[in-house]
Structure 1
Amino acid sequence: MMMYSVILVDDSMPVLHYLSRAVPWEQLGFQLAGSFSDPEEALTYGQQHAPDVLITDIGMPKIDGIQLIASLKQTQQSLMSVIISCHGEFAYAQQAVKLGVQDYLLKENLTADQLVPILEQIRQRLDQAQSHSSEHQRLQEDHLRHRLLIKRKFTSELLSGSIQDPEYGIQRLTHFGLDTRGKMILPVYYTVTANEERKQRFHDLDLLSFTVENIVEEIVEHSGTAVHLSKSPGEGFVWFALPVRSGAQQEMIVHEVMYQLIYSVQKFAKAEIVTVCGSKTLHWQEAMNDAIQLQAQADRYFYLPPSTLCDSTHRLDFQKESDLFANYGTAAESLALALLPDGEINLWINNWIERLKQERYHPETVKTFMLKLAIDWQLKQQQLHDRPFAFSVEELHREMGHIRHIHELTEWMNIRFGALAVLSRDWTLQANCRSEIIHARNYVEQHMNRLVKLEEVAEHLHLNASYFSRLFKKETGETFIEYATRVKMQRAKEWITAGNGTVDEVSQMLGYQYKSYFLKLYKLYTGHTPVKSKGDTI
């Protein structure tokens, strides 16, 4: 049940104490956010926190109840209010009712029971308003999704080269709000890149992509000089119609819109976007061909720096696929060594990322290469030691299919190869451990992005929670919570030391909502702060 906030205001302390204690606020669906004997303090609090309901006396020093209601309603029209009045102030109470006050009560013989039916009615009105607001928001989102689908259909036509009539293309852009006649046309391609923690925050990639598209749509629409055409979730174009002025003025218009877009995506979606400018032209056909070329070479932006406005000259050529796979045997051997208990998996990952950036192999070749390394290592462990796959082949293929940028690949390698390194250490150190403990540890490793409770793991293993708790302590010498926390802190130290995220990002990636709690645990388990870790060498 949703809880609504309410504040009490009365210069009589006995009345405040009585109503605060006697009214069953929570049972009625309300949270008593504050009680004030000073109306000026109540006004300041109300302007800062926007309560849903105000219950106030009329006759008070400095500010009377009617003035208090009027002042708060200036910034919160939906505020619902109840007046507490004395007999001599009845005329004021009538005036307040006309101004939209929900009800009034006489102070003489006032009881908490009198407030209950009034609060129940207010609760019903608030529920109805909330329902209407949710429905209105849903309709707005449906409208936006429909508009994006229409634009996406046109973009698909455009990129397929099936639009032969330039007038049709110009008319469609005009319909979407962009007048290109007599102006320079410029397509700018973009694609979203986000690390695993940001994807988890939005639950799935479609929601993240829709959020980014919504941000792009709003900024571009308000610019008055461009229109947003989505190609697919997380990928699309910003089309500019620039006045025929100096190149510097045109560049200023484009930069203002695109860098505002980049900043907003970073701030509100916690993601990055790679953007590439096409070429300016007065002719629709040339602009369309440029957009087709920009999209056709999208894989060539794999190594471009995100959150920077690049031009089409940044399209990169790739090395031959055979050049990378010629080193596969050596790479597999070095990975096996890096995954040993005394190995340096973070150094192995960093070395490979730097090599990929320098030699620039085709993204699909790189993804296939890393995918094969992860699968083959698990397959070897299964064949030699009868160990289960930590990550299914289908799961790894699905994750790799979503990767569009080298930063996302780096994140994937840190998470997946890092998890395999921890599993390898556990397997080596606990060869004689019971199967239930092994499965429990594997479960923790596979869900490092959130806090895993003992009861959840016990249910997963089909064990009683109390029995599992005693078993884990007996077999390992530490409690399950101690183990789960220790493993997370080990992973945190590895990531922070390797520079794979800020302290905020690492704490969120490991499922900690509050940074202060994460820092407390980190120091408890490592003996020092994350700043010290970052200076350590591995």
Structure 2
Amino acid sequence: MERLKVILIDDETLIRKLLRMKIDWEALGMEVVTEFSSSKKALEEVQEWNPDIIITDICMPGIDGIEFSETCINLMPKVKIIILTGHDEFNYAMRSIKIGVSDYILKPIKAEVITQTLWKTREKIEKEKNYQVEYEKLAAQIEENLPLFQEGYLNQVLLEPVTSEVFSRKMKFYQVDIHPNAQEIQVALVEMNQVNKENIGNEEDQNEMILHMKARKLIEEFFSGDAYILFCRDGFGRIVIMSNNPDLPLNECLELLRKMLITRLKCYISIGVSCKKEDYSQISTAYKEAVEALNYKMVEGENCIIYYGDLATSTSYLSVEQEKIWKEIKIYVSAGRKEEAEKSVQRLWEHFIRDKYKSTQQTPHLLIEIISWCFNEAIKNDLPIQKQFSKKLCQVYEDPIEMVAFRDEILKYIGMLTTEIAAKDEKKNSSLVQGILNYMLQNLSSPELSMNQVADQFYISAGYLGRLLKKNTGKTYGEYLSEIRFQKAKDLLITTELKAYEIGEAIGICDPHYLSIWFKKMSGDSLSEFRRKGKVQKMKVY
């Protein structure tokens, strides 16, 4: 047990002697290191002694116990102070608690009371020290694992948009340097593939891991002289480079980097590059652009750099009508409307089949664009099927595809994505509807329970709320609200003796006249008739 240092302060010598003699300091694991007859003198030397506990009288000449305690706590925040006070000074002593005094003891002094107080104070000190030790351990672990936390957060930002303010604050916490003035951001995605994959199973996985580790080290070394460059690995093991340096010619750097990696690692290197974005809130958009650009390596081949900006005209071969249909497909898929999406896919295929030669030439391009878009939507919605789209992208050029098979492939993957999005939306909407219904029940007494007010509570439009309720309850908002108010009114009439106006207040209808008309319309009976019939029915049951 660690020995704690105690200082005694009292202008009466007898009190100090009694404290020394009556208390078994050794049993408490404490030692009285010094004592003072003056609080002024104590203040001059207290920091030199660095005590754990100070016992001081409240009334002393010059500086009283409370003033002394306040000054002492400011000098040594961890010290525990126990004040000795008489009954007539009790209210005065209570003020000491507000300034942080640990405890107080009433005179006349009793050894057992002081001993109990000192034990309690010791427990406080040990608890705080243990907490401090645990805190320091956790702080050390955080410091040690900071790179992992940085990596995890950057991965999160790739998939979920955040505000520039939040990103800046998080980067400061993770000790990552970002540009002090510019928020411009550009994302590059580096993918490595072994030239020869003769090994199988665990050995191949191990070789790929080693390749990624070597590539990550070389990339970080390559940019080591450049400020404001961030790195992480995405969910597919690809290396993400985020440039926050507006003065760095990233495109030129990537070309040199690609050549260096190919030479040093003897592997295939493909890089997808986003357009430059104005601020950190667009990092996830930039990442999606880099992913889409990288997907086009199937067209460009291995060992290439693809810039998203160069893909802007990739669908220029589509006619105005075909482009319109493709946009319809995207809308239907995003809305989870599988039947309409599949019909639009069929229409697009019919347009392409009219020109067999042209469609045969453009089939791989369109298939890549559609699968790539599905892949990005799966990432955005955090769907597990994203890996299936990624795998399919790698097979587009490996297996030639006929036109009928082309249509079936599009229908398959569009249908798969639409089904997953619809299921996710259904689950989300089910939870939202339940929350809305619970809110309406809990706030039934509010006369302001309008559809607009409820919609505002859930940050949705009134129109959307109305459609959700209609779909899930079969009733409009007004119909559902009337129904639950009616059920509540009936229950209160039968089970309580509340007056009509009290029932009206409980269900949010405060106008007694309107309440009577409304209830008569809903039940066919007046309030009093319904209550009387309810009581009669209740008596028959018993």
Compute the TM-score of the two structures, normalised by the length of structure 1: 0.30
Q: Over alpha carbons, which structure has the higher Rg?
A: 2
Q: Which has the higher contact order (CA 8 A, sep 6+)?
A: 1
Compute the TM-score of the two structures, normalised by the length of structure 2: 0.30
